[in-house]
Chains A and B, each alone.
Chain A
């Protein structure tokens, strides 16, 4: 019982999630700063930022709907933490886990988009309404490619449960005999659709996080700060925190589904019980940081696309790409039997 409570509230639960969220935020900022030849923020900067925002007065503009503007950021943070509870951190199984949880997570991600729209609409400001429209359009456009690429991985691993997908990834891609030899040489071909699908998933994650090149909903020089322009004080802190947690979530989701999460993969280690968890956690961290680095790299090296360019990119390049990936997986499944 106590162990369960510790799991939910401390590790790998809420405290750990928030720490990882702040850490990821700092990490991205630091990587971006170093790439741009700046110094970047100190390690504790996200904590200072949040502390300062939480202490500030909340201001609601004339004619805006204060209750929605107050409620939605809390929902965003709640939803983000709920998603994070599904993420496998040290063992293939997260705190919460059930059949079909992958799709539940996708549903929760789209709730984030909807709350963004409500905030923008309730603020009654040209910038926020523009930003809200853009946020929803981006959200709708990126959801299908993301869903298709995750579904393809589901077909590959024959599961729609994160823990099973994580566990079976290596086995289904590289099935082995007990002595460690790879059974079917053909399965190396799985790497082709896998590459396509992970690219689609990473770009979709960038879209969901509103980073460049898909940062139009937050375009600073055009619409000030998009849908969150009018948020102040604790409300803004909640949204920012939700963004940070989502940064952790999406990186961890890609790590779990495409990179095997805490599993050691091709390296076979015979370890006793607690040490597998420690090694698993270290592997998770390594993969997680790799994903974060790729995210920051794309973010730094691209300009901000216009909203029509984002939509046409997502619908006419990334959606077909994800469908091609799915087709390849299906073909390989049929041949490989």
Chain B
């Protein structure tokens, strides 16, 4: 039985219902009825909780739950369930029994806005340092970023950043915060018996920068460049989600020229190719198969060169702007790109052939870290991780954005559910992305690449879900008509996949740890974008942001090359 959005609206007892600027329905429910209504919605098929968005509005805290369905295509666009609690000792019942993935999101909200979740077990801090004061919540409007930083400096928070392991009777093996398998700091605490894993605990918070708070202090244009620094690998996905959301808030999405939308697809797909090649190279390295690691990274340079030729950068391309893109492609570059992409297609096919055949490597990834379809839905897995567990869901297809509606492509999904399936899905996707790029380059519409936009956006709120290389990336913006967002919420795909990741360690061995962690393509920088400006980095900086900008501008005017190490 597949029911539509209209029927859903009838089923839920709402206090009032409204719409975001992008026509997303918002159902406001009473806090004490939340649990009941959420259960009803889950049973109706809205099984995917994207994130929990919490923000302070006047003296109340508004909490939004964006829900959608990965299986029912009619319900693929998100629907918001909203509830409002008072600022003074905010309390709301937990929904972790219905949506297990809510645990991480709820802990995040507790850390940053001080909302208590009734019925949840005692929860340690997830994102903030252990020595963070109890009555201080960074994302409340009590303090601006600078004031908060000063206050924490006075208190000395973050100067004891290590969180030592407590002594325990069990045999504990800590993987992280620093470990060869991690490229970014995160800590998994494994309780092991011989080589078998018995239990696992997670601690985030080693990579906090406070980007969400910083976004509220910037301007709409400055935020373009801050937002892509959330992550080096999927920078353009974050930027795309941001500009799409901003355009929805400003109600100019339909005025954006076609050529710009197609170029946005091109940069997103090029990024997906390099991200996937990077990923399976590192997977091979984790499996001790260094040969493939070197070969794949060598071939990845081709796509990096492409991006550099077009955008000037290997990462952080700064391609998107509100109302279009910033750089066009000329005929010469277009031809060069087509030649390079054809070479890349040949190379990726070779990688696919080798990686799906080498027996010692397959022995390490087949039947490892199994995740069934039911569990993938229950734990809210997204992106290639979900597609490896037999869920045919791709935001590019099911909730098309930019120009994906006009570009033909196939969604790959596999039924195995193990690490091998995640690899096979990504290999196929990388090949498909090359095809998409070629299609875009051959059928690029003519016209402008951007429209002019005012520096202040209209009042309004909107959200966008984008298929980043790692999965669903959701951005939510509330604008109060000023030159900066009132609240900008980002949830990167890794945080959505981390719940199912913890489940995957069941019955596995110590040797499988790196492969299983790698299977979701963890990006810690993305996951922990929230919280707080690091007091230490603020101090070691010798040159102010203003100076840097003026320096860069001068260089640009004089057409000199910028020496990277000079600053």
Contact = CB atoms under 8 A, between A and B. Distances in A.
Interface of A: 35-38, 126-127, 130, 133, 212-213, 215-216, 219-224, 300-309
Contact of A37 (B286, B298, B514): B298
Chain B interface main SS type: helix
A213 to B, nearest CB: 5
B278 to A, nearest CB: 16
B291 A221 contact: no
A221 B286 contact: yes
B288 to A, nearest CB: 2
Nearest to B292: A303
Given A130-B195, A304-B364, A36 B295 contact: yes
B172 interface: yes
A301 B358 contact: yes
Contacts of B172: 126
A51 to B, nearest CB: 25
Contact of B288 (A37, A126, A219): A219
Interface stretch (B87-95, B173-181, B466-474, B479-487): B173-181
B399 interface: no
Interface string B429-442: 00000000000000
B360 A130 contact: no
A221 B294 contact: no
B562 interface: no
A303 B509 contact: no
A99 B369 CA distance: 52
Nearest to B284: A303
Contacts of B364: 303-306, 309
A304 B514 contact: no
Given A220-B288, A303-B358, 7 more contacts: A220-B180, A223-B510, A301-B358, A303-B361, A303-B364, A304-B287, A306-B509
B175 to A, nearest CB: 9
A37 B296 CA distance: 11
Interface string B170-200: 0111100001110000000000101100000
A87 B465 CA distance: 67
A215 B288 contact: yes
B294 A222 contact: no
A36 B181 contact: no
A38 B297 CA distance: 11
Contact of B291 (A300, A307, A308): A300
Contact of A305 (B179, B293, B294, B360): B360
A222 B510 contact: yes
A36 B358 contact: no
- Among A36, A133, A223, A303, chain B packs the most CB atoms within 10 A around the CB of A303
Contacts of A215: 288
Nearest to B182: A221
A112 to B, nearest CB: 21
20 contacts: A35-B291, A36-B295, A37-B294, A38-B294, A213-B288, A213-B360, A219-B511, A221-B181, A222-B513, A222-B514, A224-B179, A302-B289, A303-B288, A303-B360, A304-B288, A304-B360, A305-B364, A306-B363, A306-B364, A309-B363
Nearest to B513: A222
Contacts of B288: 212-213, 215, 219-221, 303-304
A302 B287 CA distance: 9
Interface in B487-534: 509-514
Nearest to A211: B288
Contacts of B290: 36, 212, 300
Nearest to A220: B180
Contact of B195 (A213, A300, A304, A308): A308
Which are the 10 A-B pairs with shortest beta-carbon distances? Answer: A304-B288, A303-B361, A303-B289, A36-B294, A302-B360, A221-B181, A221-B514, A303-B360, A306-B511, A126-B173
Contact of B512 (A37, A126, A306): A306
Nearest to B287: A303
Interface in B329-364: 358, 360-361, 363-364
A130 B360 CA distance: 21
Contact of A224 (B180, B195, B287, B509): B180
- Among B171, B173, B288, chain A packs the most CB atoms within 10 A around the CB of B288
Contacts of B456: none
Interface in B293-351: 293-295, 298
Contacts of B295: 36-37
B251 interface: no
A144 to B, nearest CB: 22
A25 to B, nearest CB: 17
A222 B291 contact: no
A222 B172 CA distance: 14
Nearest to A129: B171
Nearest to A213: B360
B373 interface: no
A307 B511 contact: yes
A126 B171 contact: yes
B173 A305 contact: no
Nearest to B368: A306
Contacts of A220: 180, 288
Nearest to B181: A221
A238 B294 CA distance: 29
A126 B180 CA distance: 15
A216 B295 CA distance: 22
A228 to B, nearest CB: 14
Interface in B45-88: none
